[in-house]
A and B are shown apart, each in its own frame.
Chain A
Amino acid sequence: MAEPFKVWQCSNCGFLYYEAKGLPEEGIPPGTRWADVPEGFECPLCGFAKRDFEMVEV
């Protein structure tokens, strides 16, 4: 069985990245795992880097 989708959160502003939803407006299709999000990804709300995100339970 495939691993359930997870949610990642920007530690600065609280923006939530849902793997299931992706971020189509930023060119990241639904279902994109966090590991597959490009390393140059920046939080769309505050510009913090991918490394500043943490996995969270929502």
Chain B
Amino acid sequence: MIIPTEVAQSVADPKAYADDKRAHDAFTWLRKNMPLGRAELDLFDPFWVVSKHADILEIERQNELFHNGDRASVLTPKEADRKVREMMGGSPHLVRSLVQMDNPDHMKYRRLTQAWFLPQNIKKLENRIREIARSFIDRMEDKGGACDFARDIAFLYPLHVIMEILGVPEVDEPMMLKLTQELFGSADPELNRNKKAVDDVAANVNAVAATVAEFIAYFNKMTADRRANPRDDVASVIANGEIDGKPLGELEAMSYYIIVATAGHDTTSNTTAGGMWALAESPSEFAKLKANAELIPLYLEESIRWVTPVKHFMRTATADATVRGQKIAKGDWMMLSYPSGNRDEEVFEEPFKFKVDRSPNKHIAFGYGAHVCLGQHLGRMEMRILWEELLPRLKSVELNGKPRWMEANFVCGPKTVPIRYTMH
């Protein structure tokens, strides 16, 4: 059950996700020939690749048997893992947020902000978010019929929303975007901190650590401010929150800010950009959506499935287990491949077709089980509002150049989507 080297390399290589087809070809091969195979590559400790939708659900629902935090929670080269552990006193994590935690901490930390992100709470933000969406659509109109939808709209709109919710002033938004891209684009020479190809793993870990340090310096100041002057924002919840009657641990508090300030917009941006890309290259799907605005919720779910911005998370078996008849040993490392699950031929009819009216659409882009995305309702609401406002004004759209994906195997989306359009 050892995955052929070329296929395993396509699963691990950030460049394969920039190519998109190369990564999907590898996963299609795996689902057909080796749905739960073991990758043995020189640069990495061995890991299982979980490519089937049903297996991802089974593992995610058993969060005591398959832990997030026992080993690196994203695919990390051996050399980088060694370096991180050296820096972090033996821990494989540079930060300790919800995605690196297991119970009992995970549940306690999740509960801290959960109420904030529930549908009944974010409903009160609807009018304000609509105002923000309209301002971005006005900006699109001002561009005069051509823009880079990724850079001009999709990256900035969810960023502005989450920064208001978190409590970061608008003037700091460009910095937050830059740091987010350095973190998630750490393998991409156009986005990473050193702005060059990664040829030295240790130097890359240092660059990511420097980005994290910059975030921490910023949020340390914010903590002091919100403790002195609490407001109605998520930063105040984190700064003044308590776990078991005590303030959050320092690393945990900083990590909480960082996850909200990064994952809180980047994934929505990726999906928004990718959803526009798909419409721009499929006039018939755009026409179908344009003719029936009631399809917007289905279109959004299809965009989320299509892009699947979170490409994987790793899990570690806490005991010997069996998945799909395969023995998994205690301590084994497993990659849950969400883009693969979301193209699973056993779950989705014509999975490689983008259909604005796909139903049912039981995608797993937000994960499943105890670790399912906390911000999924907000992400959906932001995208719904944007499209409710944009669709009536957008008369036509087509590509105006070649869109490109970023080079990343963890969080990955389009980095440029040039479009030409007319508006009503």
Does A pair with B? yes
Query: How many angstroms between the C-alpha atoms of A41 and B359 in the bound complex?
Result: 20
Does A29 reach chain B (CB closer than 8 Å)?
no
A58 near B360 with CB under 8 A, answer no
Query: How many angstroms between the C-alpha atoms of A52 and B377 in the bound complex?
Result: 18
Closest partner residue, chain B, to A16 (CB atom): B119
User: Per-residue CB proximity of A8-44 to B under 8 Å, as 1/0?
Assistant: 0100111010000000010000000000000000001
Query: How many angstroms between the C-alpha atoms of A18 and B359 in the bound complex?
Result: 20
Contacts of B315-369 to chain A: CB distance below 8 A: 359-360, 362, 366, 368-369
A47 near B57 with CB under 8 A, answer yes
Query: How many angstroms between the C-alpha atoms of A25 and B372 in the bound complex?
Result: 21
Does B61 reach chain A (CB closer than 8 Å)?
yes
Give every chain A residue within 8 A of B360 (Cβ-Cβ).
25
Query: How many angstroms between the C-alpha atoms of A57 and B123 in the bound complex?
Result: 13
B120 near A56 with CB under 8 A, answer yes
Nearest CB of B to A33, in Å: 21
Q: Given that A9-B118, A47-B57 are known contacts, is A14 also in contact with B368, CB under 8 Å in the complex? A: no
A14 near B362 with CB under 8 A, answer no
Give every chain A residue within 8 A of B120 (Cβ-Cβ).
56-58
Give the interface SS of chain B, mostly helix, strand, loop or mixed: helix
Closest partner residue, chain B, to A14 (CB atom): B118
Does B114 reach chain A (CB closer than 8 Å)?
yes
Closest partner residue, chain A, to B107 (CB atom): A12
Does B282 reach chain A (CB closer than 8 Å)?
no
Give every chain B residue within 8 A of A55 (Cβ-Cβ).
none
* Interface residue total, chain A, C-beta cutoff 8 A: 14
Query: How many angstroms between the C-alpha atoms of A58 and B120 in the bound complex?
Result: 6
Give every chain A residue within 8 A of B205 (Cβ-Cβ).
none
Closest partner residue, chain B, to A44 (CB atom): B362
A47 near B61 with CB under 8 A, answer yes
Partner of B117 from A12, A14, A25, A46 at Cβ < 8 Å: A14
Nearest CB of A to B63, in Å: 10
Does B376 reach chain A (CB closer than 8 Å)?
yes
Nearest CB of B to A7, in Å: 9
Query: How many angstroms between the C-alpha atoms of A48 and B63 in the bound complex?
Result: 12
Partner of A47 from B114, B368, B376, B377 at Cβ < 8 Å: B368
Give every chain B residue within 8 A of A57 (Cβ-Cβ).
120
Give every chain B residue within 8 A of A45 (Cβ-Cβ).
366, 368, 372, 376
Give every chain A residue within 8 A of B376 (Cβ-Cβ).
13, 45
Q: Given that A13-B376, A25-B360 are known contacts, is A46 also in contact with B369, CB under 8 Å in the complex? A: yes
Partner of B377 from A14, A44, A46, A48 at Cβ < 8 Å: A14
A25-B360, A46-B372, A47-B369 are known contacts; what are 10 more A-B pairs with Cβ within 8 Å?
A: A12-B370, A12-B372, A13-B372, A14-B114, A14-B119, A44-B362, A46-B369, A47-B57, A47-B61, A47-B368
* Chain A interface (Cβ < 8 Å from any Cβ of B): 9, 12-14, 16, 25, 44-48, 56-58
* Chain B interface (Cβ < 8 Å from any Cβ of A): 57, 60-61, 114, 117-120, 359-360, 362, 366, 368-370, 372, 376-377
User: Can you list 8 A-B contacts with CB-CB less than 8 angstroms, sorted by A residue number?
Assistant: A14-B119, A25-B359, A45-B366, A45-B368, A45-B372, A46-B368, A47-B60, A48-B369
**8 closest Cβ pairs, A-B complex:** A46-B372, A14-B118, A47-B61, A13-B372, A58-B120, A47-B368, A47-B369, A25-B360
